[in-house]
Amino acid sequence: MQIDTRHYIDGQWADRPDAKLIPVTNPATEEVFGQIAAGTAADVDLAMAAARRAFDSFSQTSVAERIALLERIRDLLEERTEEFALAITQEMGAAITFSRAGQVHFGIEHVRAAIEVLQEFTWQEEVHGITVRKEPIGVVSMITPWNWPLYQITAKLAPALAAGCTMVLKPSELSPFTAQLWAQVVHDAGVPAGVVNVVHGTGEVVGEALASHPEADMVSFTGSTRAGVLVAQAAAPTVKRVVQELGGKSPNVFLDDADFADAVPKGVLGAMRNVGQSCAAPTRMVVPRARLAEVEELAAAAAGTIVVTNPLDESAFIGPLANAAQFDKVQDLIQVGMDEGAKLLCGGLGRPQGLNRGYFVRPTIFSEVTPEMRIAKEEIFGPVLVIQAYDDEEDAIRIANATSYGLSSHVQSGDLERARRVAGRIRAGQVHINYPAWSRHAPFGGYKMSGNGREYGYFAVEEYCEVKAILGY
């Protein structure tokens, strides 16, 4: 049993051996393998005070000093890749190959991006005779989810450090040990005391205290739309900046001139990667009605190649869902899809054959899904893909935008100009044309109920800055 009752506050480990303990479950076995201390509002107060004390000096450090600090963090993360990968697989079930090549690798890329941005960031410029400066916003409350335990931490902390902010982080209580490893990296890299603080606990206690705290100048939150609303409400009385990356129900629009044989299997695998537990996953495949049968055949065949097994097995493409609540939610929504009359192409209720324990789910594809169905509207957050048919290009765009979310989207076409035109009409924070490579500098965030603000690259560093105009400079 891995028991860790420590928070990381003011540059040292603050042990709370008498705290209430929160169990941590291995989703592949359904067994509790660890416990962490449940933080309190008093712990948040201590961490906030430390961050406030540290801000005056850290905000004045030079760009060169902050680059050197981020470079040390990057190097330590790279040295400890396997340790992080194993922790992520154990606590949230990502396949070990994906933990290494996806979860950890892309987490490190956010640090690399912050370094690159910092090397060229414009802190002061003249605009129409006015001096405009960008300055670190101050102390930042950060709340991160369980589905990308390291990636979401570095996406926030790396640009905040680059900007010269100090911060208090609450990682998900369902995936806390990755955050403990992160805190050790920060400590070993020589981050000054109080600049980075980590307090574990529940959203109801620690999350609420962070969102409402008067010492916080900003809240950066990633999670469900429901929780994001609560965070914004808690932050409102103190009029702090709130940046939110929330849910998604991302369309993958296939125009009739796309390469279906190549693009449909890629779309299926993209929707299922990380067991579908990614807010930007392309979980709605929008295809020409005349080619629906072809798409169904290609999609079912692709799903049949997905290996679902023990996530420590090198052959696994996906492991289990991350926790029992998510397993129950996905099972319920698969049943809803069947009850609503959607055509079940593959998968369905229950675990895959041969897996009698763990939160494993069968890769599931529904076709003949209409925009009114719950499975077309709600974020399932599991390996469930829905196929929606359209009649013409205008209908495709209408279906793509027929969602309360607007985080990510895809367009497949053999005609780049046509794809660009359609991309311009999709209301989402990101549009991917013909599966381009992921970019650590592409701004990420949503329209509508998918949130506000942007992360990644230059836009992330800018998000952690205030803008000051100096007249008569």
Each residue of 120-162: pLDDT tens digit? 999 999 999 999 999 999 999 999 999 999 999 999 999 999 9
**Residue corresponding to tokens 């990356």:** 245
- Indicate whether 286 and 157 sit together in one domain: no
- Of 53, 66, 69, give the one whose Cα is nearest residue 9: 53
- From the list 109, 208, 215, 279, the catalytic residue is 279
- Indicate whether 278 and 407 sit together in one domain: yes
**Residue corresponding to tokens 């916080």:** 216
**Does the residue 444 lie in any domain?**
no
**Does the residue 9 lie in any domain?**
yes
Say what the pLDDT of residue 346 is. Answer: 98
- Indicate whether 394 and 457 sit together in one domain: no
**7-43 pLDDT tens trace:** 999 999 999 999 999 999 999 999 999 999 999 999 9
- Indicate whether 263 and 223 sit together in one domain: no
Say what the pLDDT of residue 198 is. Answer: 98
- Indicate whether 423 and 301 sit together in one domain: yes
- Indicate whether 14 and 96 sit together in one domain: yes
pTM over 0.85: yes
State the pairing for strand pair 465-470/130-136.
Answer: antiparallel
- Indicate whether 165 and 266 sit together in one domain: no
- Indicate whether 202 and 299 sit together in one domain: no
**Does the residue 28 lie in any domain?**
yes
Residue 378 bears catalytic tag:
no
Please report, for residues 252, 397, 412, 446, 448, the alpha-carbon distance to residue 421 in angstroms, rounded to integers and kept in the order given.
Answer: 15, 11, 12, 20, 21
CA gap 192, 77 in Å, rounded: 18
CA gap 201, 207 in Å, rounded: 8
Residue 314 bears catalytic tag:
no
CB 180 within 8 A of CB 149: no
Say what the pLDDT of residue 404 is. Answer: 97
- Indicate whether 302 and 180 sit together in one domain: no
| Residue 110, domain CATH | 3.40.605.10
Say what the pLDDT of residue 285 is. Answer: 98
| Residue 356, domain CATH | 3.40.309.10
- Indicate whether 208 and 320 sit together in one domain: no
Residues of the chain with pLDDT under 70: none
Residue 245 φ then ψ, to 5°: -115, 110
Say what the pLDDT of residue 41 is. Answer: 98
Q: Quote the number of domains for the chain.
A: 2
- From the list 245, 296, 462, 463, the catalytic residue is 245
Residues written for the chain: 473
Question: What residue numbers bound the domain in which 186 lies?
Answer: 2-246+449-470
- Indicate whether 221 and 349 sit together in one domain: no
Say what the pLDDT of residue 335 is. Answer: 98
- Indicate whether 334 and 427 sit together in one domain: yes
Say what the pLDDT of residue 468 is. Answer: 98
